[in-house]
C-alpha cells in the first residue's frame, strides 16, 4: 500500500527469516499456529488509517444511540438468549475490506462486526515477532491510543480478570483443543494465568459453576467467553451432557453472549456511512435490485464466512425460507493493494476495541489482518497460495 515500504520489505524477505518468525511464534505460545500465517504484515498509510478510525467511530456512534437495545431486540434468537445481559459489550471487532475509491485512493468498506473477543494474545505475539525478525519502520505501530505490549496486557488483565484471582476466571470454549484458534487460548493462559475450560467440563451446583483445576473443585466467578452459541447448537448432540448456559447462573460474562448477536451483521442496515455498503433485511425489501450480480447475500447468524452467497440470483433467493434471517448487501470490490513476490493480494483489516466497565466509549487498541488471493477472505480459503493468511497491520503515525 506504501510502495517504498512494500518494496523494501519484499527485498529483505527470505524463507529463513520467515521460518525463524514462525518458530518464534510457536516458542512464545507453546504450540504452532493451526492456520496459515502470512509472510508479511500490512503497512497502512496515514490517509487510510484516518478513514478506518472515522468509519469505526461512526459505527460506535450507532451503538451509543439511546434505544440501541430496542433497535436490536430481534437480533438475538430467542432460544439463544442468555439471562443477565449487561449494559455494553467488553469487546467489539469491526472488519473492513480494503478498496479503492474513484480517485484511486484506498478506502475501507465494512464487511462484518461482532460484539465478541478476537485473538488478543496471538496478535500481540505475531506483531512483536514481525518486529523482531523483519525491519519494520519505527514510525509504524500495531497499537492505538499510545498502548504498548505492557499496557495492552495490563488493559486485558483489568477487563478480563477485574479484581478476581486468575483461578476463578476461565476461558470457555467448546472442544478448545480442536479449535484453530487454540494457539491464542494457550498464550492467553500464559499471560493472564487463567485456565481454558471446555463447556463439557463445567460442574453445576445450584446456580454456581465449578471446574477442576489440578484435581481441585474451583469456583467459576467470571467467564471469558469464546463460545459461539449457534455453533454450539449444531454440535450439541455430539457433546453429550453439559451445563445449560441459558439459565440463571451466578457468574459474570466477559463479554455477555447476547452482544455477539446485537453487534453483528444485524446492525448493518442501520449504519449510514460512506464506508458501509448499503444493506437491507431481505424480508423488508419491497423490490429486489435488477443488478443482483452487484450484491451478496449473508445469513445473519453465521461465522467465518459460512453460508455467504457471492453469486446472487432470483433462483437462490427463492430457495430461502427464512428471509428475516438474511441481509442483501451491496458487493464490495476488494483492491489488490498488496504487492507480493507471488502476485497481488487483497486484504481485510479487523479493528479491535475494548470497552472497560465504567468507560463512556470503547477504546481502539489493536488490529488483525487477513490476506488472500482468492474470492473469499479467511484462513480456510487460502490453502494453496503463499503470502496469504493471518497477519497484522502496522499503521503509519
Summarize pLDDT for 2-50 with one digit per residue, the tens: 999 999 999 999 999 999 999 999 999 999 999 999 999 999 999 999 9
Q: What is the pLDDT of residue 388?
A: 97
| pLDDT reading at 382 higher than 60 | no
Q: What is the pLDDT of residue 302?
A: 67
Query: With the CA atoms of 10, 11, 13 and 16 taken in that order, what torsion angle do they form, in degrees rounded to the nearest 10?
Result: 150
| pLDDT reading at 380 higher than 90 | no
pTM of the model: 0.94
The confidence band for 158, taking pLDDT boundaries of 50, 70 and 90, is very high
- Domain shared by 315 and 178, yes or no: no
| pLDDT reading at 379 higher than 80 | no
Q: What is the pLDDT of residue 300?
A: 84
- Domain shared by 81 and 196, yes or no: yes
Q: What is the pLDDT of residue 214?
A: 94
- Domain shared by 369 and 304, yes or no: no
| pLDDT reading at 259 higher than 70 | yes
The total of structural domains in the chain comes to 2
Question: Position of cell 451446583?
Answer: 205
Is the N-terminal amide bond of 397 cis, ω within 30° of 0?
A: no
Dihedral class, residue 235 (left if φ above 0, else alpha if ψ from -120 to 50, else beta): alpha
**Cα separation of 386 and 159, whole Å?**
37
Under a CB-based contact definition with an 8 Å cutoff, are residues 339 and 9 in contact? no
Mean pLDDT computed over 54-75: 95
User: What would the pLDDT profile of 80-139 be if each residue is shown by its tens digit?
Assistant: 999 999 999 999 999 999 999 999 999 999 999 999 999 999 999 999 999 999 999 999
Is the C-alpha dihedral spanning 134, 138, 144, 148 positive or negative? Answer: positive
**Cα separation of 171 and 213, whole Å?**
13
| pLDDT reading at 189 higher than 80 | yes
- Using alpha carbons, select from 317, 349, 310 the residue that is nearest to residue 332: 310
Q: What is the pLDDT of residue 305?
A: 60
Mean pLDDT computed over 263-280: 93
The confidence band for 229, taking pLDDT boundaries of 50, 70 and 90, is confident
Mean pLDDT computed over 388-394: 98
Question: Position of cell 518494496?
Answer: 7
Under a CB-based contact definition with an 8 Å cutoff, are residues 332 and 277 in contact? yes
**Cα separation of 29 and 15, whole Å?**
21
A 10 A CB-CB count for 278 gives 12
- Domain shared by 343 and 375, yes or no: yes
Question: Position of cell 465494512?
Answer: 110
A 10 A CB-CB count for 160 gives 24
- Using alpha carbons, select from 85, 57, 66 the residue that is nearest to residue 262: 85
Q: Which domain holds residue 298?
A: 279-331
Q: What is the pLDDT of residue 383?
A: 60
Q: What is the pLDDT of residue 375?
A: 67
CA gyration radius for the chain? 21
Cell of 4: 517504498
- Domain shared by 144 and 289, yes or no: no
| pLDDT reading at 77 higher than 90 | no
* 3-state helix, strand and coil shares in percent for the chain, rounded to the nearest 5: 35, 25, 40
- Domain shared by 352 and 292, yes or no: no
Question: Position of cell 511464534?
Answer: 25
Question: Position of cell 471469558?
Answer: 224
**Cα separation of 117 and 36, whole Å?**
20
- Domain shared by 326 and 377, yes or no: no
- Domain shared by 178 and 313, yes or no: no
258 or 303: whose pLDDT is higher? 258
- Domain shared by 305 and 158, yes or no: no
**Cα separation of 339 and 107, whole Å?**
17
- Domain shared by 57 and 153, yes or no: yes
A 10 A CB-CB count for 240 gives 7
Domain limit, last residue, from 287, 309, 331: 331
Mean pLDDT computed over 237-246: 91
CA 366 to the chain's CA centroid: 11
Q: What is the pLDDT of residue 376?
A: 61
- Domain shared by 307 and 201, yes or no: no
Q: In the chain, pLDDT over 90 holds for what percent of residues?
A: 86
Q: What is the pLDDT of residue 235?
A: 87
Q: Tell me whether residue 43 is exposed, middle or buried, using C-beta atoms within 10 angstroms of its C-beta: 0 to 12, 13 to 18, 19 or more.
A: buried
Average pLDDT, the chain: 94
- Domain shared by 310 and 369, yes or no: no
Domain limit, last residue, from 291, 310, 331: 331
**Cα separation of 199 and 232, whole Å?**
10
The number of helix segments (H) and strand segments (E) in the chain equals 10, 19
| pLDDT reading at 231 higher than 90 | no
Cell of 282: 431481505
User: What would the pLDDT profile of 288-336 be if each residue is shown by its tens digit?
Assistant: 999 999 999 998 876 556 788 888 999 999 999 999 889 999 999 999 9
Amino acid at each position: 500500500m506504501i510502495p517504498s515500504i512494500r518494496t523494501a520489505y519484499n527485498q529483505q524477505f527470505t524463507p529463513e527469516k520467515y521460518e525463524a518468525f514462525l518458530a518464534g511464534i510457536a516458542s512464545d505460545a507453546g504450540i504452532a499456529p493451526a492456520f496459515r500465517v502470512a509472510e508479511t504484515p500490512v503497512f497502512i498509510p496515514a490517509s487510510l488509517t484516518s478513514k478506518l478510525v472515522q468509519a469505526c467511530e461512526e459505527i460506535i456512534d450507532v451503538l451509543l444511540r439511546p434505544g440501541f437495545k430496542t433497535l436490536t431486540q430481534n437480533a438475538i434468537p430467542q432460544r439463544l438468549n442468555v439471562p443477565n445481559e449487561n449494559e455494553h459489550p467488553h469487546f467489539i471487532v469491526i472488519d473492513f475490506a480494503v478498496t479503492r475509491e474513484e480517485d484511486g485512493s484506498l478506502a475501507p468498506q465494512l464487511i462484518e462486526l461482532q460484539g465478541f473477543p478476537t485473538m488478543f494474545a496471538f496478535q500481540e505475539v505475531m506483531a512483536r515477532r514481525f518486529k523482531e525478525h523483519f525491519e519494520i519502520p519505527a514510525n509504524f505501530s500495531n497499537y492505538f491510543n499510545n498502548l504498548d505490549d505492557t499496557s495492552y496486557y495490563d488493559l486485558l488483565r483489568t477487563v478480563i480478570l477485574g479484581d478476581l484471582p486468575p483461578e476463578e476466571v476461565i476461558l470457555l470454549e467448546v472442544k478448545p483443543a480442536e479449535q484453530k484458534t487454540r494457539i491464542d487460548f494457550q498464550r492467553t493462559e500464559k499471560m493472564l494465568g487463567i485456565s481454558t475450560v471446555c463447556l463439557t467440563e463445567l460442574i453445576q451446583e445450584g446456580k454456581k459453576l465449578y471446574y477442576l483445576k489440578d484435581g481441585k473443585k474451583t469456583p467459576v466467578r467470571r467467564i471469558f467467553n469464546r463460545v459461539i452459541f449457534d455453533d454450539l447448537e449444531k454440535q450439541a448432540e455430539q457433546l453429550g451432557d453439559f451445563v445449560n448456559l441459558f439459565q440463571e447462573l451466578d457468574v459474570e460474562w466477559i463479554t455477555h453472549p447476547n452482544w455477539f448477536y446485537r453487534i453483528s451483521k444485524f446492525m448493518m442496515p442501520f449504519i449510514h456511512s460512506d464506508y458501509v455498503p448499503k444493506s437491507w433485511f431481505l424480508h423488508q425489501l419491497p423490490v429486489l435490485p435488477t443488478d443482483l450480480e452487484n450484491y451478496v447475500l449473508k445469513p445473519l447468524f453465521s461465522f467465518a464466512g459460512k453460508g455467504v452467497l457471492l453469486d446472487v440470483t432470483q433462483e437462490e433467493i427463492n430457495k430461502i425460507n427464512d428471509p428475516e434471517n438474511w441481509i442483501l448487501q451491496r458487493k464490495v470490490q476488494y483492491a489488490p493493494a498488496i504487492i507480493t513476490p507471488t502476485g497481488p493480494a487483497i486484504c481485510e483489516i479487523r479493528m479491535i476495541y475494548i470497552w472497560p466497565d465504567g468507560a463512556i466509549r470503547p477504546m481502539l487498541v489493536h488490529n488483525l489482518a487477513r490476506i488472500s488471493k482468492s474470492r473469499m477472505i479467511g484462513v480456510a480459503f487460502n490453502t494453496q497460495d503463499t503470502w496469504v493468511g493471518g497477519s497484522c497491520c502496522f499503521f503509519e503515525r
